[in-house]
Amino acid sequence: MTSSFPTDSYLFLTGDDAEQTEWPATAFPEYTDERLAQFADHLWAVSNGDLASGLTALSSAGLYTLVVALAWAAGVGHSSWSADRRIRDQLPAITPAMLAELRRRDYRGLGDDPTGPVRRGRLLQLVGAFTPLSQPGGTIRQRQKMSGACPFCGDPTSLRVSLPAVAWRCFGCDRTGDLREFAECLLTRARQVLECSGVPGHLPRP
């Protein structure tokens, strides 16, 4: 494995999004089926089929892209993208390593500024992969917060994303947190979906 992973170079673009919000966010493009397929193929190749071994070499963008890939592969979200089984079947084994790597980077302040435009952009990109976000109005105060459906409890209007705080909260299931905690909830939800689906290796608990 090399010490760096060129995820940002072909998955993400940067720019200002000042017209959307008074709190600038780095503008990252939406996740798509094609982007995730290219990412999964590349990661599989450089990790020699052992995704957990490649986590420390992923950029921050790559790490959160893998979160989306695993969640979509498990059936979380509304995407039609379906990963081949090599991605889905590694979810139980890779989840503890993913959680540990997310927390390691968060605690050490690696990769992203805690409340800056990059962090805001990643939160909007990650949440937007699972629910469309809208602004409740046109005032400066209203543009600081966005709303949508909660991907965890299904309530169609209860999710709020605060750009100044780079945080989110669902008023339906009372889940709350920051960028890392949204990713953690996605991984937990993905495992639950696989367990309930009866996929071999992911059978429901008795």
Of these ranges, 39-43, 48-52, 175-179, the one predicted with the greatest mean pLDDT is 175-179
200 pLDDT band (50/70/90 cuts)? very low
Q: What is the mean pLDDT of residues 197-201?
A: 53
What beta strand segments (E) does the chain contain?
145-148, 159-162, 167-170, 176-177
pLDDT at residue number 83: 56
Angle subtended at Cα 112 by Cα 106 and Cα 101, rounded to the nearest 5 degrees = 35
pLDDT at residue number 174: 95
Rounded to two decimals, the pTM is: 0.80
CA 200 to chain centre: 25
User: CA 171, 174, 180, 185 torsion: positive or negative?
Assistant: negative
Q: What is the mean pLDDT of residues 69-90?
A: 76
The answer, yes or no, to whether residue 74 has pLDDT greater than 50, is: yes
Distance separating alpha carbons of residues 58 and 104, to the nearest angstrom: 13
8 pLDDT band (50/70/90 cuts)? very low
pLDDT at residue number 18: 36
pLDDT at residue number 23: 67
Q: Is 152 left (phi over 0), alpha (psi -120 to 50) or beta?
A: alpha
The answer, yes or no, to whether residue 148 has pLDDT greater than 90, is: yes
Q: What is the mean pLDDT of residues 130-150?
A: 82
28 in Cβ contact with 119 (< 8 Å): no
Distance separating alpha carbons of residues 181 and 201, to the nearest angstrom: 26
Report the candidate in 90, 52, 76 with the shortest Cα–Cα distance to residue 182: 76
198 pLDDT band (50/70/90 cuts)? low
112 in Cβ contact with 179 (< 8 Å): yes
pLDDT at residue number 127: 95
Of these ranges, 1-10, 34-43, 108-117, 144-153, the one predicted with the greatest mean pLDDT is 144-153
pLDDT at residue number 88: 82
- Give the model confidence (pLDDT) of 101-137 as tens digits: 999 887 665 455 666 788 888 999 999 999 999 887 6
Q: DSSP of 72-139, one letter per residue?
A: HHHT-SS------HHHHTTHHHHHHHHHHHHHHHHHHT-SS-TTSHHHHHHHHHHHHTTS--B-S-SS
Partner residues linked to 117 by β-bridges: none
Give how far Cα 72 sits from Cα of 141, 188, 189, Å. 33, 13, 11
Which residue is it, tokens 């008795």? Answer: 206
Q: Return the SS3 of 145.
A: strand
Q: Can you give the length of the chain in residues?
A: 206
User: CA 185, 46, 36, 92 torsion: positive or negative?
Assistant: negative
Q: What is the mean pLDDT of residues 76-82?
A: 65
Q: What is the mean pLDDT of residues 72-86?
A: 71
